[in-house]
Structure 1
Amino acid sequence: MSDFHLDGTRCLDVVVVRHGLTSWNQQRRYQGHRDIPLLLPDAEPDLERLREHLADTDFDAVYCSDLTRCRQTLEAVRKGHPDTPRYDARLRELNFGDYEGQTWDALKDDPDYRAWVDSQGRLATPGGESADDLWARLSAWLDEVLAEARQRQQRRVLAVSHGGTIRELRRRLEAADFWDGVVGQAQGRCFTFTFQEDGWSCSSSSVVPAPAKATS
């Protein structure tokens, strides 16, 4: 992670990671806004790998979804660091509405569910959100992060969030395919933004934690 590009323009790293494993992840249930805690001790190996990756990194600001699984993840991976996290409901997972608590096997023959899946997020879930709804709150959060980063000359920030929010960030910032933007538990992306005369833009992104190097 670097503070400036070679041409001297200011850059900001926004590290966004997904929460650790829950029982509903294991059961492949839609969680959405349901406040499901981490599945311990099963979640610990992934959390430890992320903790080690972030151990030597100082963040100018730390954000977190207000749901328990994200709060627990942040506590596990930043234990011992003097962070003052800001809990923000805008970082929540997509609201899956009537599908929360359900599995693909239970829903696969429902025509409304099939239409939602085939729409790649363009349709809202019954009683829930569309991808555009999710992006509306995510982009509002991101605009505030970028504005504060410029005002306070911040260099890197951390956010603990959810799989669907990271997928939507990747779709909007990386032009990733809707289904290709998924990341695993306690994994995420580092989005690097550069500030020039026309404002902030995402110039690159990378995997978090970085893939382990192959050994010979």
Structure 2
Amino acid sequence: MTRLIFIRHGKTGGNLRGAYIGRTDEPLCDEGKSELEAKMFPEADIVISSPMKRCVQTADIIYNKLPIRIYDNLRECDFGDFEGKNYSELNGNADYQAWIDSGGTMQFPNGEGHTDFTDRCCRAFLQAVSENEGKTIAFIVHGGTIMSVLERFAEPKKGYYDYMVKNGCGFLTEFSDGSIRAIKEI
């Protein structure tokens, strides 16, 4: 059994605006840093992070005594034409409405598709777990990354959006026999 800690990165300026921030490499905002510094997190043996600044900075704040291992394919989804925009900026956009009507499953215009994104994240997740089996692994990643991995591997099965998590929050879980179980919010 391998213990897993999934933590969504701290807040960024884009998060404060409610914007879709995927490929944009934003740093944490001051509020995001303060919130992380004020919170206690479970101990880990290994820290694995998306390469994005917001994740690396979060990992450094929470687990500053441990080296950070970067897994490129744990980065957030490419939101394409929606990148950097929020609901009010996209309201009335036909492509955005089509995406909403699809339940958030269709490919972002000029961006990444849900299946491709989920497959990419899950491959990186399995690689990280196989390389660190039996340890407590902290994944400092994005909301979409967490949702993708838990939708695919968590038992009992739930939908992608059932695993939404706020900035600086996440889940403490166990991974064995190809499934994630004993999910507790942190």
> Do these two structures clear the TM 0.5 threshold for a shared fold by scoring above it?
yes
The whole-number CA distance in structure 2 between the counterparts of 1:155 and 1:68 is: 25
Structure 2 CA distance for aligned equivalents of residues 179 and 145 of structure 1: 23
Three-state SS of the structure 1 residue aligned to 2:121 is helix
Instruction: Provide the aligned C-alpha RMSD in A.
Output: 1.6
What TM-score do the two structures reach when normalised by structure 1? 0.79
Q: What is the CA-CA distance between 1:173 and the residue it aligns to?
A: 2.7
- Distance of 2:161 and 2:101 partners within structure 1: 11
Specify the code of the residue in structure 2 equivalent to 1:143.
L
Q: Which runs of 5+ in 2 are unaligned?
A: none
Larger Rg: 1
Pairwise CA distance, 1:62 = 1.5
**Is residue 204 of structure 1 aligned with residue 186 of structure 2?**
no
1:214 — aligned with what? none
CA distance in 2, matches of 1:53, 1:147: 23
Residue 88 (structure 2) aligns with: 105
Counterpart residue number, 2:100:
117
Higher mean displacement: 167-176 or 62-71: 167-176
Residue in structure 1 matched with residue 3 of structure 2 by the alignment: 13
Distance 1:179 1:118 in 2: 15
Structure 1 segments (4+ residues) deviating >6 Å: none
Mean Cα displacement is larger for which, 183-192 or 115-124?
Answer: 115-124
- 2:148 matches 1:148: no
**1:159 is the counterpart of 2:139:** yes
Percentage identity across aligned positions? 28
SS state of the match for residue 44, structure 1? helix
- AA aligned to 1:30 is Y
Amino acid of the residue matched to residue 112 of structure 1? Answer: D
Structure 2 residue matching 1:17: 3-state secondary structure: strand
SS in 2 for 1:43: helix
The whole-number CA distance in structure 1 between the counterparts of 2:32 and 2:68 is 21
Quote the offset at 1:49 in angstroms: 4.1
Q: Report the Cα offset of residue 121 of structure 1.
A: 3.4
Q: Which one of the candidate residues 157, 167, 187 is aligned to 2:169?
A: 187
| Cα separation, 2, equivalents of 1:191 and 1:134 | 22
Contact 1:121–1:130 (CA under 8 A) maintained in structure 2? no
Scaled by the length of structure 2, the TM-score of the pair is 0.90
8 Å contact kept, 2:151–2:158: yes
Which amino acid is 2:143 matched to?
G
Q: Structure 1 CA distance, aligned partners of 2:48 and 2:56?
A: 10
Q: How many residues align?
A: 184
Please state if 1:58 is matched with 2:44: yes
Instruction: Name the CA distance, whole Å, in 1 between partners of 2:161 and 2:175.
Output: 24
Structure 1: unaligned runs, 5 residues or longer: 1-10, 209-216
Give the SS at the match of 1:36.
coil
Aligned 8 A contact 1:70 1:160 in 2: yes
